[in-house]
A and B are shown apart, each in its own frame.
Chain A
Amino acid sequence: MSSRTTISRITAIGGLSTAVLLAATACGAGGPAVTSGSAASTVNVLVEAGGHAELTGVAEQCKKDTGVSANFVELPYDGMFNRLSSEFSSGNVSFDVAALDSVWLPSFKDAVQPIDELFTDEAKKDIFPALVKEANVDGHFIGMPAWTNAEIILYRKDLFDDAKNKADFKAKYGYDLAAPTTWKQYQDISEFFTKDGMYGTDVKGGVETEWLAHVLQAGSPMVLDANNNVVIDNAAHKEALDFYVSMTKSAPPGAAQVDWAAAQNLFNQGKTAMTRFWAHAYRQIPKDAPVAGKVGAAPMIGGSAGVAGVPGPWYLSVPKATKNSDAAKKFIKCAYDHNDLGIESSLGLASRISAFEKYQDKAGYESFGPLIKTLNGAATATRPATEKWQQIVDTVLVPLLQKAVAGGNSTALLADAKKQIQDLLK
C-alpha cells in the first residue's frame, strides 16, 4: 500500500471522525445567561406566558408605589423549567424574580432566597393553608403565591338544561340530570352523553394530577406519606386508578396522549359534555368556540375523605444569584398587596382568599365559588415536597397511567411503580 493511499485513508477516516464528533456534540442548549446588570430600580421577571398577563397590572401599580419597574421575560410553560434549571446550574442568572410552578419548588430550593419577612401573620391568614405549607421548604418561606388554581367540574349547561336530555336521563337513571355531586353521578352522566360522536368526559393519560386528586379524595396522601414512605400501592391509589380508568369508556379515544391542552380543546370544541379542569379555563373559553356561553362550573366532587383537589399555585421567588434582591423583594411585596389586579387579566387568577372572595359573586366569575370550595377542601393537599417529584411524574406516574388506560392490571402496575419510586428515592 502506497504512502499516498495511507494518507488519504487516514484523512478520510479522520475527517469523518471529526464530522461525527461535531455532529454528536452539537446539541448544546442556548447561549450563555446574561448577568443581571440592570439598574436597581428595574427587576427582570421570568414568567410563563399566562403569568405575564397576570402580573402586568401589578407591575404598573408597583412602579407607581415603589418606583420599581418590571421587565418581563416570557417563556412557554415547557421551556420555563429548562431555562431555570440551566441558569441555576450555571450560577449566572438573567432574572431577579422568577415565577415558579409549585412542582419545582423542592428542585430549586437551594437556588432561591428565603423571603420569611414577607410572610407576616396577616399574610398567612389570607393565603390558602395548603399554599402556606407548600411555600415553606426546610423551615423557610421561599416563594410567595402569586396565583393559584385547582381543578373543578366544567359542564355543558345547554345540554344539561335540554328538556329531552332531562327526560331521557331521568327515565334511564331514575334521578334528575344536574351538575354531578357524586362520582357515581359523574359516571352516569358521562355514559349518558357518550353518543353521536360526542363523549361524556375525557380521561387524561398524559398528566397525573387528576388521578392524584382522586387519591386524596379516597383518603390517602399522594404517592409518598409524611415520612417519605412510598404508599402508591395502597387501597386508595388502586381505588382511584380503577375509577380513573373506568371513565375511558365514556371518553374520546387516545387517552394515553390526552394532556391538559388536548382536554381543553376537546371541551371547547364541544366534543365532551364535562371535564375536570383547572378553574381558569372557564374564563378562557374563546368567544367563537361552539361552547361559548354554554358552560357551567361546579366544585370538584368529594370521595370518602371529602372534597379534594391538587392546588396548582405559582410562587414568586428571588434567586440567590441576583444582585438586585431588594428591588426583587419589593416587587413581590407589591404582587402580594395588589394580588387582586391579576383577576381581570386573561389568566384571571389570584392567590389571596380575599381577592377571590371580592370577585366570586360577580358575573363572569362563576368558577370562583367552586374554586374556593375546592381549595378549602378538607383533603386538598399539595404535591409531595421531594426534589425527585418531576422525575417520579415523568418516568413513573405518567407511564403508569398510560399503561392503565391501555388495559393494564392496576395492582401489578402500582406494585411496579412502588419499586421504581423507591429506586429513584434511594
Chain B
Amino acid sequence: MRISDRRFAVFLMAPAALFLAIFVAYPLFRLVADSFFKISPIAGGPRDFVGLDNYFRAFASEAFMGAGWRTLAYTLVVVTLEFALGLGMALLFTMLGRNSQIWRTVFLYPLMIAPIVAGLLWKFLMIDNFGLIGTLMHQAGLLANPNQIGWLSDPNIVLFSVAIPDIWLTTSFMCLVLFAGLQNIPGDLIEAARLDGARAPAMLFRIVLPLLRPVIAVALVVRGIDAARAFDTILIQTNGGPQSASETMSLLIYRTMIRFGDPGLASAMGTIYLLAMLAVAFFAVSTIWRPGKDN
C-alpha cells in the first residue's frame, strides 16, 4: 500500500506529539488555568475564579520579586563561572589531544554525583562550627578563626556559597559540550591563522569563539535554564535561608504550593517564571546563535 509523504510524516510524528500533548501541553494548560483560581489545598475544597488576582499578588509579593532577582543573580554567577572554567578546561584538553583522555574522564566525575549528595557534601564542608573549609583556611593562615566566614549563615554571601556545589557538579558538562564543539573546528583554519601570524588571543576571540557560537548558545541556554531551576542543592544546604537569602524561584514556588497550600498563587508564579524563561531562551537564540543569519 502506498501512503503519501505527508501521511508518512504524520505517522512518524504522532508518538512524539501524543507524548508531548499528555506530558507537556496538558500540564501546561492546567498550570495556566489554575493560576486564575483560588484553590483549596484539600481535595474537594472550594475552587473560586479570581481572574488575575494571583498575578497581582505575585507581583506585589516581596518574596516573589526577591526570589526573581536572586534566581537571576544565581544563574548569572553559576553559568558565567561554569562557562569560563569549562571553556578553559576544554581548550586545555584540546591542546593535550590524546593525552587528555584520562583527565577528561576524571574531570567528568562530579557530573555523575546526585545533586542531593553533592549538596550534603558541601554543606558539611561549609557548615559553621564543624566545616572543613573554615578549619583548613584557618590552618593555612588565611582566616583568624575557622568561623570567620559564615558560608551558609551570612545572608550576604550565602547565595554564592550555595552556588559552589552547582558549579562543581556541572562545569564538566559545559566542558564536555565545548570540547565536542572544538573538535569540529577545521584544523586547517587554525593552521592558516597560525601561518598568518595570529597569536593565541586573536585565534581564540576571532576564530575559535565565533565558530563555537551555536555550541555556546546551546550550552548556555541548557545550563541557564537548568541553573535557574536550582532546587535540590539549595534545599539540602540552607532550605532557602537565612532570611530567605538563598530562596530561588523554584524553592519559592514549591513552598507556596506544598508548604503554604496555595496552588493558585504557585501556578501564577510558575506561569510568570515559564514566560520569563521562554523570553530569555528566545533572546539567547536570536543574539548568540542567530540560526540562519550567518548564511
* Partner-B contacts on A (CB < 8 A): 1, 5-6, 8-9, 12-13, 16-25, 27-29, 81-82, 85-86, 88-92, 107-108, 110-111, 205-206, 252-258, 262, 265-266, 269, 271, 321, 387-388, 390-391, 394-395, 398-399, 402-403, 406
Residue of A nearest to B291 (CB): A12
Contacts of B261 in A (CB 8 A): 85, 89, 107, 387
Q: Does chain A have a CB within 8 A of B185? A: no
Evaluate contact between A253 and B277: CB separation under 8 angstroms: no
Contacts of A394 in B (CB 8 A): 255, 259-260
The distance in angstroms between the C-alpha atoms of A8 and B295, with both chains bound, is 12
Q: List 13 A-B contacts (CB under 8 A).
A: A12-B291, A27-B254, A28-B27, A85-B41, A89-B42, A107-B41, A254-B152, A256-B243, A257-B127, A265-B130, A321-B43, A387-B261, A394-B255
Residue of A nearest to B214 (CB): A12
- Judging by beta carbons under 8 Å apart, are A25 and B31 in contact? yes
B155 touches A16 (CB 8 A): no
Given A8-B292, A252-B128, check contact A85 B259 (CB 8 Å).
Answer: yes
Please, which residues of chain B bring their CB within 8 A of the CB of A111? 42-43
CB contacts under 8 Å to A, within B2-58, are 20, 24, 27-28, 31, 40-45
The smallest beta-carbon distance between B144 and chain A, in angstroms, is 12
Question: Which residues of chain B are near A8, meaning CB under 8 Å?
Answer: 291-292
Closest chain B CB from A154 CB (angstroms): 18
> What is the chain B residue whose CB lies nearest that of A84?
B258
Quick check: B285 and A13 within 8 Å, CB to CB? yes
With A8-B292, A24-B229, A88-B41 known as contacts, the answer to whether A402 contacts B282 (CB < 8 A) is no
Q: How far is the CA of A12 from the CA of B285 in the complex (A)?
A: 9
Tell me whether B274 and A24 are in contact (CB under 8 A). Answer: yes
Q: Which of B81-89, B93-101, B176-184, B218-226 is the interface stretch?
A: B218-226
B residues whose Cβ falls under 8 Å from a Cβ of A: 20, 24, 27-28, 31, 40-45, 63, 127-130, 147, 150, 152-155, 221-222, 225-226, 229, 231, 238, 241-244, 250, 254-255, 258-261, 263, 273-274, 277-278, 281-282, 285, 289, 291-292, 295
Q: How far is the CB of A88 from chain B (nearest CB, A)?
A: 5
Q: A23-B229, A107-B261, A390-B259 are in contact. List 14 more A-B contacts (CB 8 A).
A: A9-B291, A23-B222, A25-B24, A88-B43, A89-B42, A90-B43, A91-B43, A205-B153, A254-B153, A257-B238, A391-B260, A394-B260, A398-B241, A399-B242
Q: Are A5 and B295 in contact (CB under 8 A)?
A: yes
User: Contact: A256 with B229, CB < 8 Å?
Assistant: no
Taking the nearest CB of chain B, how far is it from the CB of A81, in angstroms? 7
Docked Cα-Cα span, A259 to B63, in Å, equals 22
Q: Is the CB of A256 within 8 A of B24?
A: no
Pair A89/B24 contact, Cβ less than 8 Å: no
If over half of A's interface residues share one DSSP class (helix, strand or loop), that class is named, otherwise mixed; here it is helix
CA distance A409 to B231 in the complex (A): 32
Give chain A nearest CB distance to B58 CB in angstroms.
14
Q: How far is the CA of A398 from the CA of B153 in the complex (A)?
A: 13
A81 touches B259 (CB 8 A): yes
The total number of A-B Cβ pairs within 8 Å is 153
Q: Which of B43, B130, B273, B295 contacts A24 (CB 8 A)?
A: B273
Task: Assess whether A24 is in contact with B225, with CB atoms less than 8 Å apart.
Answer: yes
| Chain A nearest Cβ from B72, distance in angstroms | 15
Which residues of A sit under 8 angstroms from B263, Cβ to Cβ? 89
Quote the shortest CB–CB distance from B255 to chain A (angstroms).
7
Given contacts A253-B147, A256-B241, A256-B242, contact A29 B229 (CB under 8 A): no
Q: Which of A18, A257, A258 contacts B20 (CB 8 A)?
A: A18
Q: Give the residues in chain B near A92, CB-CB below 8 Å.
A: 43
Roughly how many angstroms separate A86 CA and B257 CA in the complex, as a whole number?
9
- Given known A23-B225, A89-B42, contact A29–B153 (CB-CB < 8 A): no
Complex Cα–Cα for A256 and B242 (A): 6
Most central of A16, A111, A269, A388 by chain B CB within 10 Å: A16
Report if A253-B281 is in contact (Cβ < 8 Å); known contacts: A28-B27, A82-B259, A265-B130.
no
Are B128 and A13 closer than 8 Å at their CB atoms?
Answer: no
Whole-angstrom distance between the Cβ of A230 and the nearest chain B Cβ: 18
- Across the interface, do B129 and A12 meet the contact criterion of CB distance under 8 Å? no
Q: Are A257 and B43 in contact (CB under 8 A)?
A: no
Establish whether residues B221 and A16, one from each chain, have CB atoms under 8 Å apart when the complex forms. yes
Across chains A and B, which 10 residue pairs bring their CB atoms closest together, nearest first? A91-B43, A254-B128, A254-B153, A256-B242, A257-B153, A253-B147, A402-B242, A12-B291, A391-B260, A9-B292
Nearest Cβ in chain A — how far from B88, in angstroms? 26
Q: In the complex the two chains form, is B241's CB within 8 Å of A395's CB?
A: no
